[in-house]
Chain A
């Protein structure tokens, strides 16, 4: 499967945030204490969960495909400071 885990998490975050905002938008169509409660008890936690999933995905993100850093150090075969690649 080609989908990276962060993309799955971003999708989950997007769906949660979208769903929460949709619930909140619908709650505006109705002026009643129940609508206020739906906004507060269902909409807000869904959006908050989506944002938390997104932030956690950022914290846990470990790029696998980034090229290893190149640092300048004297090569063992020459004295003129060739670039060597340090394998992670």
Chain B
């Protein structure tokens, strides 16, 4: 098990296992429920604990679904995983990943979630759409895989907004009013001549890769 698992997972598994045993016990010893204590026991075993176990399990699955290993476990994403190791400071996903500007074990999710109230849920629903394409649809070639909607500056500004090293960059302030346009998503961070080299999937054959420890 990887870094996306921890003591929380074992607690959840323990509660689920306890709930499983109790549910089967109540089911096969239903005669116990004739008295008051038995009825309470059945209520705990068939309602309280299963609801708790499913809720905790769901939360744990949602957390696991945010891990880099989870996103890259589909074959179609392998090139995107490789692009995080490109040894080139102009490829900014690689710079963010290699310098731990984003958590390395949640690299994909950190940049590709939507930082709104229902953002995490929206990301999971989009993930189900990815799965549909992976197993029931036609996977496009890597160069043709695009985002469903244009990337919103909000996701960059979630970390960079208000940061000194973002505010003081000349290009973010000239011409006058540029910063306001960036903040309101009128000018994309990925516009031409800005941060326009993203995952560089087309160039993977010609680049060198960073190796951990070097």
| Chain A interface (Cβ < 8 Å from any Cβ of B) | 6-8, 10-15, 17-18, 20-22, 24-25, 27-28, 31-37, 39-40, 43-44, 47, 50-51, 54-55
Contacts and interface: CB of A to CB of B under 8 A. Distances in A.
B46 A21 contact: no
A25 B16 contact: yes
B30 A10 contact: yes
Contacts of A8: 30
- How would you classify the secondary structure of chain A's contact residues: helix, strand, loop or mixed? helix
Interface string B9-26: 100110011011001111
B57 A54 contact: no
B204 interface: no
Which of A13, A37, A40 has the most chain B CB within a 10 Å cutoff?
A13
B64 A36 contact: yes
Contacts, number: 116
- How would you classify the secondary structure of chain B's contact residues: helix, strand, loop or mixed? helix
Interface residues of B, number: 43
Interface of B: 1-2, 4, 9, 12-13, 16-17, 19-20, 23-28, 30-31, 33, 42, 45-47, 50-51, 53-54, 57-58, 60-61, 64-65, 67, 69-70, 73-74, 127-128, 130-131, 134
Given A7-B31, A10-B26, A51-B47, A21 B53 contact: yes
B17 A25 contact: yes
Given A31-B67, A40-B61, A51-B50, A10 B19 contact: no
Contacts of B131: 33-34, 37
Contacts of B13: 25, 28
